[in-house]
Structure 1
Amino acid sequence: MGAFTTMTSKGQLTIPKDVRERLNLAPGTRFFVTERDGLVVARPKNKKLADLAGMLGRPPSGISLTVEAIREAVADAIAEDDDRIKKEWKDSQT
């Protein structure tokens, strides 16, 4: 997998069609670009959080949560933080 491409004067590269198709890259796909051991590494950011579910395996506790349970836990944490911030602001006004 791979092909030659040429960098333009603006630093742009064209990703060959077969590579775009294999990686499901569409116009507007964002990339994280870095250098590693003298190589240019470009990682597409075309994954959603749900796509990453399970990639680390089972948690050490053995308890796994659904995406809905995670969303609910995050919403609860945000609500608690909002309440704390409001209380701190109110206390600072007295």
Structure 2
Amino acid sequence: MPTSTLTSRGQTTIPKPIREALGLQPGDRVEFTLEEDRVLLRRAGADLSALDGLLAHLGEEPVSLEEMNEAVRTAASKNVGAYEKSGGEK
């Protein structure tokens, strides 16, 4: 079983066999999970909860390029109008 020594600053080196097994490279992030008297170490990955709702638009009718361009024109003209009304100040 690989071991490592804790420094006075609370740092340690992940043993090479563990780094290799996890495919860890310098700069990679790791996660620690405390489970009773054990610590689980794993490669940090993307938080999958951030993907919630990503595909919610499926099943909706796609927007045409013309509709997108019109939406951009409308928003831009509103922004320009508001900018001009303010005297060009933000």
Which TM-score bucket, shorter chain as reference?
Answer: 0.3 to 0.5
Larger Rg: 2
TM-score of the aligned structures, taking structure 2 as reference length: 0.46
